[in-house]
Amino acid sequence: MAVTQPQIEDGWKKALEKEFSAPYFTALKQFLLTEKSKHQVFPPGSLIFSAFNHCPFSAVRVVILGQDPYHGPGQANGLSFSVSPGIRHPPSLVNIFKELQNDLGIPYPKSGDLTVWADQGVLLINATLTVRENEAASHQGKGWETFTDQVIHTISLKKEGIVFLLWGKFAQSKEPLIDTSKHFVLKAAHPSPLARGAFFGSKPFSKTNQILTEQGLDPIDWRVDR
């Protein structure tokens, strides 16, 4: 399984070097090996670190934090809220795309694969990077959160001017990891239908681009279908 020796972009490997040799990560690797021998685990091993491999450490400009990978067959591709090409859009992603259309006038996309965002410096990271098939939250509390908290802390410590999009109470609970004196935090309700539409009107995409351009950086091209 790929996580035994993390196949992760060199910049991230250097920035997170201490994590990969930490006792909790060793225990996490063993847990995943055992899980893999008994259950179907998503995403596939080669995609667990996709968020990092598509968005090198040196390229990070925006962070969108999710909680758990999708647990249905073929859905999870290692990027938060994203699904593999040809997969039906889950409800949260539907609402993200509706807000994208309302915010920037971008037509609702056919593809749910957000790789084009990641390739522009948008780190689409879940707090937990794996899940057992059809069992939501089944890999929570096994060590992934320790790792991804350190990811957020490392970005905060070593970079400046990053835009963090924190959607919902869980993502917002990570705000203490972020130095808000040198980074930007945009908070909104979660895009899940359970939030009863509170996400709509938050305009995260235009607000992010405004912050980036005010720093002299290129805006994100949020179009998914190219």
* Contacts of 143 by beta carbon, 8 Å cutoff, 6+ apart: 24, 25, 27, 28, 31
Distance CA(84)–CA(44), nearest Å, equals 12
Distance CA(163)–CA(213), nearest Å, equals 12
119: annotated active-site residue: no
One DSSP character per residue, 125-176 reads: EESS--EETTBTTTTTTSSHHHHHHHHHHHHHHH-SSPEEEEEHHHHHTTGG
Distance CA(2)–CA(5), nearest Å, equals 6
- Name the nearest CA neighbour of 103 among 12, 219, 19, 216: 219
Of 10, 68, 179, 221, the active-site residue reads: 68
CB 57 within 8 A of CB 70: no
Q: Which amino acid is residue 181, in one-letter code?
A: S
Distance CA(95)–CA(169), nearest Å, equals 17
Distance CA(171)–CA(191), nearest Å, equals 12
Distance CA(12)–CA(182), nearest Å, equals 21
Q: Which residues are catalytic?
A: 68
